[in-house]
């Protein structure tokens, strides 16, 4: 599950990074704790050159009441044990809540980092997870839908983050899952409503752990109303030292001839800063 993330970039940075312009009336001042129900920036496939504000929480168009689904499992009903080695069917394409959206209503969800808790303590013991070498913002894979209130007719544009099995870094928390983080070179394919489904499902994999790191933060982040920068101050050591990251990255390069190097660099990383 990924129920919290942060984005503190100025709109100009988002526009440059995603080659898109903020829509008229766009107001987003950044947040250190984007929680379900909050409005947050997205780029949708139907308008790939616009940065829009949608609600974090998707309700399928056919629902009779507001459901506000925040995550969509790439495996659907498969791999309930969250086996990290799972390579089977992407059952999301069969789920009634997501099968339309995964085919034609995909979006990019800009983020600077995401927040995850442990299996047992959840947000009682949270960690901030980020991409090394100041790669931010990055894009999480999302889907969106429009729900209309059956009585008022009011429209709710909502999105959900697609999750997959956790990589080695996530299992250090421990936590079994993580958001799908897209390589920038795959973002155009993800946004294309006409892209073949097989090209979409093959992107639903965990990012290599050597490109990531994390550190523990205050459990104050549990409150959806908490929003100060103090929320992301480290309360302990990073999950991996720089030396460990470099070793793991070298192992990946030696074992994977087609490794994508979009986020490649050996320079040490600093914790997230505003």
Task: Give pLDDT tens digits for 145-181.
Answer: 999 999 999 999 999 999 999 999 999 999 999 999 9
Task: Give pLDDT tens digits for 17-31.
Answer: 999 999 999 999 999
The CATH fold assigned to 4-255 is: hypothetical protein yedk fold (3.90.1680)
Return d(Cα 128, Cα 81) in angstroms, integer.
24
Tokens 């752990």 label which residue?
A: 209
Reported pTM: 0.90
Judge whether 116 counts as a catalytic residue: yes
Q: Which of 2, 75, 107, 187 is catalytic?
A: 2
| pLDDT score of 262 more than 90 | no
Residue among 37, 42, 75 at smallest CA distance from 59: 37
The ranges assigned to domains in the chain are: 4-255
Judge whether 29 counts as a catalytic residue: no
Return d(Cα 13, Cα 76) in angstroms, integer.
34
The torsion angles phi and psi of 69, rounded to 5 degrees, stand at: -80, 125
Task: Give pLDDT tens digits for 231-252.
Answer: 999 999 999 987 666 665 565 5
The torsion angles phi and psi of 141, rounded to 5 degrees, stand at: -80, 130
In the chain the first and final C-alpha atoms are separated, in Å, by 25
Structure token digits, residue 183: 């390589």
Q: Which of 15, 29, 81, 116 is catalytic?
A: 116
Task: Give pLDDT tens digits for 42-72.
Answer: 999 999 999 999 999 999 999 999 999 999 9
């Amino acid at each position: 599950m990924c129920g919290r993330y942060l984005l503190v970039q100025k709109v100009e940075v988002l526009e440059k990074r995603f080659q898109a312009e903020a829509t008229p009336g766009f107001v987003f001042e950044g947040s250190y704790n984007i929680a379900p129900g909050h409005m947050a920036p997205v780029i949708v496939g139907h308008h790939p050159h616009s940065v829009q504000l949608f609600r974090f929480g998707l309700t399928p168009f056919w629902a009779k009441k507001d459901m506000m689904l925040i995550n969509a499992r790439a495996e659907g009903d498969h791999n309930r044990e969250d086996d990290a080695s799972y390579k089977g069917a992407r059952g999301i394409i069969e789920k009634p809540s997501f099968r339309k959206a995964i085919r034609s209503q995909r979006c990019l969800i800009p983020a600077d980092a995401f927040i995850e808790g442990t299996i047992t303590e959840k947000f009682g013991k949270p960690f901030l997870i980020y991409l090394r070498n100041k790669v931010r913002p990055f894009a999480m894979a999302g889907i969106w839908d429009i729900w209309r209130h059956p009585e008022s007719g009011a429209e709710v544009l909502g999105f959900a983050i697609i999750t997959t099995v956790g990589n080695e870094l996530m299992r250090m928390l421990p936590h079994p899952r993580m958001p799908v983080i897209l390589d920038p070179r795959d973002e155009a394919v993800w946004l294309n409503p006409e892209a073949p489904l097989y090209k979409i499902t093959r992107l639903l994999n965990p990012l290599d752990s050597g490109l990531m790191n994390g550190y523990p933060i205050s459990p104050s982040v549990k409150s959806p109303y908490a929003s100060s920068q103090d929320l992301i101050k480290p309360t302990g050591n990073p999950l991996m030292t720089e030396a460990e990251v470099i070793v793991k990255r070298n192992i990946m390069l030696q074992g994977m001839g087609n490794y994508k190097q979009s986020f490649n660099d050996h320079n040490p990383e600093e914790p997230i800063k505003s």
